């Protein structure tokens, strides 16, 4: 049987998983990956009866031909020296190429070594008969047959395990694929839900912002209206205050003008009286002078002339008084016109001042 029939375990390499368990992988066959078997210790008595199942030995390298057995028996019969017999038996067993599978099983090498040691011990018994050597060769042949049977059994178990492993791998990959699909569906559902929630939050934020803007506009409008009402009240109060001040100024000015007119009227009346008295005094002097002159000319003519003169003087005085009165009335009318013109100018100045004050107040408020 060829060594490659067992899956190339002779060239297998071992490495460790993350959990500390060793994994054996064959470079010849990629699917030959399995955990290593724990060490099994077997006593020499059990080794004499059978070879352990973990020992995987090639039938070509671990088989004795009939020629080798005959040569060994003939050599044992012919050689008398025990040292030479031991060397020959060792050379025969060393020629057996026993490959051990790379499964990290130390017991296989130990079992072969113990078998060789047992054979060495048997060969060292130089005084024993030839039957013991034949029995040892028969035991070795039985062990080789048992090892071959164990190898076939292990190969079948390995094929069964590999088949189970492939089935489990397919099932596991299928489950993982189904889980991945379910996770993707769940992720898509969550993503759509999250997008919907974000859209709802965005809409709610826009609505809240719209409500806040409307409330702010209403509050701003009410504030502006209140400010306009307050400014209007201030304007009204300022206008009333200025109107009161202007009225007081007008009343004071009117009273002052009335006082001035009254004083001027009194002064004029005094002047008129003085003028009349002076005029009368002058007329009286003239009359006295005329009377004296007329008396000198003629007493009679004086009496008639004096009478006529008195009438003329009285008429002249009346005319003079009337003319003076007219002049005074005309003067009073002119003074009244002047006062009214000045009063109108004062009114215009006051109105201009009020208008300028209102314009300044509006500019300040703006």
Rounded CA separation 316/314 (Å): 5
- Quote the number of domains for the chain: 2
- Burial of 9-30, coded b for 16+ CB within 10 Å and e otherwise, reads bbebeeeeeeeeeeebebeeee
Lowest-confidence pick of 6-15, 108-117, 173-182, 284-293: 6-15
Asked if pLDDT for residue 133 goes beyond 50, the answer is: yes
Averaged over 285-305, what is the pLDDT?
A: 75
Helices (H), ranges, the chain: 44-49, 66-78, 82-94, 106-123, 130-297, 299-365
| Cα-based distances in Å from 197 to 189, 192, 200, 203, 205 | 12, 9, 5, 10, 12
Cβ neighbours of residue 162 under 8 Å, at least 6 residues apart? 31, 32
Quote the pLDDT of residue 99.
40
Q: Provide mean pLDDT across the span 323-328.
A: 85
- Match 């206008």 to its residue by tokens: 239
Q: Is residue 231 part of a domain?
A: no
Confidence of residue 114 (pLDDT cuts 50, 70, 90): low
Which of 109, 128, 147 terminates a domain? The answer is: 128
Evaluate if pTM is beyond 0.85.
no
Write out the H or E segment, with its range, that includes residue 15.
Answer: strand 13-16
Does any domain span residue 351?
A: yes
Residue 43 lies in a domain: yes
Across 1-5, 59-63, 330-334, which has the greatest mean pLDDT?
330-334
Q: Is residue 44 classed as helix, strand or coil in its secondary structure?
A: helix
pLDDT one-digit tens code per residue, 29-71: 444 444 444 444 444 444 444 444 433 334 343 334 444 444 4
At residue 111, the pLDDT reads: 60
**Residue at 258 is within a domain:** yes
Is residue 235 situated within a structural domain?
A: no
- pLDDT confidence tier of residue 317, bands split at 50, 70 and 90: confident
What pLDDT, on a 0 to 100 scale, did the predictor assign at position 265? 86
Q: Please provide residue 310's backbone torsions phi and psi, each rounded to the nearest 5 degrees.
A: -60, -45
Q: Which domain holds residue 96?
A: 3-128
Note the pLDDT tens digit of each residue in 200-247. Answer: 888 888 888 889 988 888 899 889 988 888 998 888 898 888 888 888
Point out the domain boundary residue: 70, 100, 128. 128
pLDDT at 356: 86
For a pLDDT cut of 90, what percent of the chain falls above it? Answer: 0
Query: What's the rounded mean pLDDT across residues 249-276?
Result: 87
Q: How many CB atoms sit inside 10 A of residue 67's CB? A: 8
Name the domain boundary from 108, 128, 148: 128
């Amino acid at each position: 049987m060829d060594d490659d029939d067992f899956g190339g375990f002779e060239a297998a390499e071992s490495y460790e998983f993350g959990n500390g368990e060793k994994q054996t992988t064959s470079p010849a066959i990629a699917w030959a990956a399995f955990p290593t078997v724990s060490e099994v210790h077997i006593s020499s008595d059990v080794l004499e009866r059978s070879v352990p199942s973990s020992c995987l030995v090639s039938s070509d390298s671990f088989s004795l031909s009939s020629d080798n057995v005959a040569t060994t028996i003939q050599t044992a019969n012919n050689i008398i020296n025990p040292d030479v017999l031991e060397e020959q038996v060792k050379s025969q067993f060393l020629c057996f190429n026993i490959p051990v599978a790379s499964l990290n099983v130390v017991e296989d090498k130990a079992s072969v070594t113990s078998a060789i040691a047992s054979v060495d011990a048997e060969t060292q018994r130089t005084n024993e008969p030839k039957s013991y050597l034949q029995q040892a060769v028969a035991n070795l042949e039985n062990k080789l047959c048992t090892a071959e049977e164990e190898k076939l059994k292990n190969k079948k178990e390995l094929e069964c395990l590999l088949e189970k492993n492939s089935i489990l791998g397919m099932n596991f990959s299928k489950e993982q694929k189904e889980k991945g699909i379910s996770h993707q569906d769940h992720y898509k559902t969550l993503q759509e839900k999250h997008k919907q929630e974000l859209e709802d939050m965005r809409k709610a934020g826009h609505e809240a912002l719209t409500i806040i803007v409307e409330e702010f506009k209403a509050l701003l409008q009410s504030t502006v209206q209140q400010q306009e009402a307050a400014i209007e009240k201030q304007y009204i109060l300022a206008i009333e205050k200025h109107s009161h001040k202007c009225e007081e100024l007008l009343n004071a000015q009117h009273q002052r003008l009335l006082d001035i007119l009254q004083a001027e009227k009194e002064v004029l009346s005094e002047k008129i009286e003085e003028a009349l008295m002076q005029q009368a005094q002058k007329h009286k002097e003239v009359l006295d002078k005329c009377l004296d002159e007329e008396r000198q000319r003629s007493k009679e003519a004086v009496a008639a002339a004096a009478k006529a003169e008195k009438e003329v003087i009285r008429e002249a005085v009346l005319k003079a008084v009337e003319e003076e009165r007219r002049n005074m009335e005309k003067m009073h009318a002119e003074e009244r016109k002047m006062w009214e013109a000045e009063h109108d100018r004062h009114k215009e100045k006051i109105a201009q001042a009020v208008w300028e004050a209102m314009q300044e107040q509006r500019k300040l408020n703006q």
